[in-house]
Amino acid sequence: MTQPERDHIRFLLGGRARHLRGVAPTRTVLEYLREEEHRTGTKEGCAEGDCGACTVLTASLNEAGDGLDYHAVNACIQFLPALDGKALLTIEDVAGADGGLHPIQQALVDHHASQCGFCTPGFVMSLYASYQSRRGDAAPPPLTAQAIGQLLSGNLCRCTGYRSIVTAALQALHNVAPDLGTLDQDGATETVQQLQAWRASGPLHFTGAGQRFYAPRTIDALTELYAEHPGAIILGGGTDAALWVTKQLRELDTLIAIGEVATLKAITMAHDHIRIGAGVTLTRAAAAISAQYPELEELFLRFASPPIRNAATLAGNIANASPIGDAAPALLALDAELELRSVHGQRTLALSEFFLAYQQTALQPGEIIETLRIPRRTPDLTLAAYKISKRFDQDIAALCAVFRINLADGLITTARAAFGGMAAIPKRASACEAALVQQSFTAKSIEAAAQALQDDFTPIGDLRASAAYRQRVAGNLLRRFLLEHEPGSGPVRITRHGR
């Protein structure tokens, strides 16, 4: 029997249920917390997910439905409906019931890791997410200063300097003892039971402030809704759409969220490819892809920040068709395919045929990305990814290049050279690729391919890089690929200073 739709958002805030009706579906979690709940420990800094001052923690049912997954997210770019069926924790929930500081907070005090204090709640919440995850992991990953740096890459402090913060984090997280029980002291058992009960009820559908929001639970319901509302915004993690509201002040009349469709949140391994559903977050997708292609791990670590990767989806990064999206060059180099779906049926499209022009795609009216298919690794493959940006962490690329070759009997049988930032769309360099095929992997063939890039691209200049810089660096990255991977040359790794 079809369950009735719900007209209200419901979630737990600090363990207490909230039921919201009639709210604007594009109101952010940050606005709600500060203006309605008066939880002003959650700060507004950039309002675009860069500084981390607004970091909060969400807890949702795990895949088995019997425990909780904790994730740090940016409240400034989360719409309120994203909380539906989850638990929300803010800085006000971290300290003990007796008012005593949490070990993370105490460590920051002990190591003088806060000055003005504006950013501190965000740092605490990012660390608290790791604290909770480590408690539920029988074999938590080792702690290093580099790992802490990656964990906190979405949190900005302008006063203290990061050394004292990292030292405090190492101390606080090193002392976490895994607790694989019920965690009753945190109210986790009651939280799980409440979220289980809510999951058993109907899908969310409400109207507020003249805007409509739908969260269907099946793929058929999703495509039917999109057919009925062809002008709707398909919402994944909302990390881009939220900026349309907070920065561009756009009015989004109808939103259809994909996050409640279970089949879209699945990652499956076939004998020759990985299937990643459109609702899979970047955090999960990066782990699955990096397991097959560890050469892409650094690219994914530099892809925004952990709070953004915990919300954003891989399919959303592709669907927005940004010419500087980090995922597209990697997936183009791997010959990824898209499984598209509408009420009229399904079709499969090579990603190389998906991008048509600046922010224009081959999606037909009423059609969505259902799944990304990425070939599994073959033994003869050589792969490298390079991102050039002004900052190492959490920055927009001036250009991104991913190279892949397959070698047999000393010759290149397949060549892929995919770039972001070199054209109005993410694009393969067909002339460069043609110059490599059936050639040996040597300086001579690479030089010819680098020259062929002149025929592939006429880049533009902007604030991130000049056209001449982009063109020169594109060729130099191809030369770097040879230096690092030329057969018989031994391992060579060129890194930035200090890493």
CATH code for the domain of 280: 3.30.465.10
Q: What is the pLDDT of residues 457-482, one digit of tens each?
A: 999 999 899 999 999 999 999 999 99
Confidence of residue 312 (pLDDT cuts 50, 70, 90): very high
Averaged pLDDT, 9-20: 96
> Which distant-in-sequence residues (6+ apart) come within 8 Å of 464 by Cβ?
389, 390, 396, 397, 398, 421
Residue 491 located in a structural domain: no
Kind plus residue range of the DSSP H or E element containing 407: strand 399-408
Q: 38 and 143 share a domain?
A: yes
Confidence of residue 184 (pLDDT cuts 50, 70, 90): very low
What are the DSSP E strand ranges found in 344-398? 345-350, 355-357, 360-361, 368-375, 381-388
Overall number of domains in the chain: 4
Distance of alpha carbon 35 from the chain centroid: 28
Residue 1 located in a structural domain: no
Averaged pLDDT, 163-178: 89
The C-alpha atoms of residue 447 and residue 430 are separated, in whole angstroms, by: 15
In whole numbers, what is the pLDDT of the chain averaged over residues? 92
Lowest mean pLDDT among 88-97, 311-320, 331-340: 88-97
**How deeply is 37 buried, as exposed, middle or buried, from its count of CB atoms within 10 A (0-12, 13-18, 19+)?**
middle
**pLDDT score, position 408:** 95
Are residues 418 and 333 in contact, defined by beta-carbon separation less than 8 angstroms? yes
> Which distant-in-sequence residues (6+ apart) come within 8 Å of 123 by Cβ?
52, 55, 108, 113, 152, 155, 157, 165
Q: 282 and 317 share a domain?
A: yes
Q: 367 and 422 share a domain?
A: no
Enter the tokens of residue 365. Answer: 């009216």
Averaged pLDDT, 165-184: 75
Q: 313 and 250 share a domain?
A: no
**pLDDT score, position 186:** 57
Enter the tokens of residue 241. Answer: 């759409």
Q: What is the value of pTM for the model shown? A: 0.93
Judged against a pLDDT cut of 60, whether residue 172 lies above it is answered with yes
Lowest mean pLDDT among 195-204, 221-230, 254-263: 195-204
Amino acid letter at 443? Answer: A
Q: 92 and 228 share a domain?
A: no
Averaged pLDDT, 121-131: 96
The parent domain of residue 243 ranges over 205-257
Residue 498 located in a structural domain: no
Q: 228 and 270 share a domain?
A: no
CATH number of the structural domain spanning residue 228: 3.30.43.10
What CA–CA distances, in Å, run from 464 to 303, 306, 472? Answer: 17, 23, 14
Residue 495 located in a structural domain: no
Averaged pLDDT, 85-96: 94
Q: 64 and 143 share a domain?
A: yes
Enter the tokens of residue 188. Answer: 């986790």
Q: 161 and 23 share a domain?
A: yes
Residue listed under structure tokens 């792969």: 383
The C-alpha atoms of residue 417 and residue 430 are separated, in whole angstroms, by: 8
Q: Residue ranges of the alpha helices (H) in 339-466? A: 430-436, 443-456
Q: 18 and 148 share a domain?
A: yes
CATH number of the structural domain spanning residue 18: 3.10.20.30
Averaged pLDDT, 394-410: 94
Express as a percent the part of the chain with pLDDT over 90: 84
DSSP string, 97-144: TTSPPPHHHHHHHHTT--SS-SSHHHHHHHHHHHHHHHHT-SSPPPP-
Enter the tokens of residue 295. Answer: 């050469």
Q: What is the pLDDT of residues 321-341, one digit of tens each?
A: 999 989 999 999 999 999 999
**pLDDT score, position 495:** 53
Enter the tokens of residue 121. Answer: 């709640």
Q: 20 and 51 share a domain?
A: yes
Q: 163 and 306 share a domain?
A: no
**pLDDT score, position 499:** 34
Confidence of residue 232 (pLDDT cuts 50, 70, 90): very high
Residue 466 located in a structural domain: yes
Q: Which of 196, 227, 243 is the last residue of a domain?
A: 196
Q: 12 and 49 share a domain?
A: yes
Judged against a pLDDT cut of 70, whether residue 361 lies above it is answered with yes
Lowest mean pLDDT among 47-56, 80-89, 370-379, 488-497: 488-497
Judged against a pLDDT cut of 60, whether residue 37 lies above it is answered with yes
Residue 426 located in a structural domain: yes
Q: Which residue has the higher pLDDT, 42 or 98?
A: 42
Averaged pLDDT, 253-279: 96
Residue 492 located in a structural domain: no
3-class DSSP state for residue 78? Answer: coil
DSSP β-ladder status, 411-420 and 399-408: antiparallel
Number of other CB atoms surrounding residue 319 within 10 Å: 20
> Which distant-in-sequence residues (6+ apart) come within 8 Å of 114 by Cβ?
108, 120, 159, 160
The C-alpha atoms of residue 403 and residue 387 are separated, in whole angstroms, by: 12
The C-alpha atoms of residue 46 and residue 37 are separated, in whole angstroms, by: 21
Q: Which of 321, 344, 375 is the last residue of a domain?
A: 375
User: What is the radius of gyration, based on Cα positions, of the chain?
Assistant: 23
Judged against a pLDDT cut of 90, whether residue 160 lies above it is answered with no
Judged against a pLDDT cut of 60, whether residue 455 lies above it is answered with yes
Confidence of residue 188 (pLDDT cuts 50, 70, 90): confident
Judged against a pLDDT cut of 80, whether residue 3 lies above it is answered with no
The C-alpha atoms of residue 130 and residue 140 are separated, in whole angstroms, by: 10
Residue 300 located in a structural domain: yes
Averaged pLDDT, 201-220: 94
